[in-house]
Chains A and B, each alone.
Chain A
Amino acid sequence: MLYDLRRADASIKWLVTCLLATFGLSYLFGAVMVSLYAGFTPQRVAATYAGPAMSMPMPPDSTMIVEHPMSMADFARPETHAVDTNLLIQDTHVHVPMYGVIAAALSLVVVGLSLERAWALGLITLLFAAPWLDFAGMWLTKFVSPQCAIVTLIGGWAMGAGYAIVAALAVKQMWFSPERS
């Protein structure tokens, strides 16, 4: 195969290394952002995406008004960051194409690695399936069951695992393997 990262020019190897480092950096800060605005457990993911919509009653026949006292502490109570349907539509629209581009970029790295075809196909599938699972989990959590939050977590782990495997293999083959003659 003509495209082989082990035999590539050092400038190409450096480009791929920088790309992987950039993705790694963004994943790290993504983790910080997740810890700030949601959480890493199925319960917190469910609270973010399912929200009260899961228990939403049917609208009343006529508008009802209920009034109750509040304290200032109630206003100060931390809110669960909720992603409602409109925001999830927006997030899906914005993020899915970007994840497609990231998966494609990592897949191009995979194509340049010395791997058996089955492994390469499996890795490429993993890279694209992870964001599909990720967003499928969010929609399922919202409209099917809060228990589907686990699908989102699996998608996230799969995305991280896919990146880690590609990065480790690429760095090893580009910089630490003897070049093929």
Chain B
Amino acid sequence: MQFKPYAKSLAVALSLAFVAGCSSSGGTQDGALDGTAGSGTGGVAGQGQGMMSGQAGGTSMQAGQQGRIPDVRTIYFDFDSDQIRSEFQSVLTAHAQYLRSNGNARVVLEGHSDERGTREYNMALGERRAQSVERFLTVQGVSPSQFEIVSYGEERPAVRGHSEDAYAQNRRVVFSY
């Protein structure tokens, strides 16, 4: 059931994967990549589903431009996935913008998983999600010195319980400034 929204925005996800894939070859093309990511965002932000996309609305963009830390600081992931979902691109873009224009700002990217599976393996999955966000920020020209990754695995759930809904809210990366 978690896969539906992913399929819907497959095209955007693919372009995002391309962006992420570029990270290893250096992040010098800020302008062009910003443009790509930005146009993707505009198309998808409105299509959201449920509570999470509500959080991922347009206010974060404006906040970033005003030089305030963006309000939306959590993005969510599909089961067993570290792919940035298209509806959260705008959130990441806003944080990238904020971090670029505030060179002294520091953020910890906290990676989390749901409770399914073993704890140490989930610790690694949480780290992968945070690294996925890290790649996005790097490509968008944020200095690596501005962020650090900490994975909590399944140790700090946002919501207790064994429901799919609880799991969906626990698979996340939190921007902790």
Q: Do the two shown chains form a genuine complex with each other?
A: no
Binding site for A on B (CB under 8 A): none
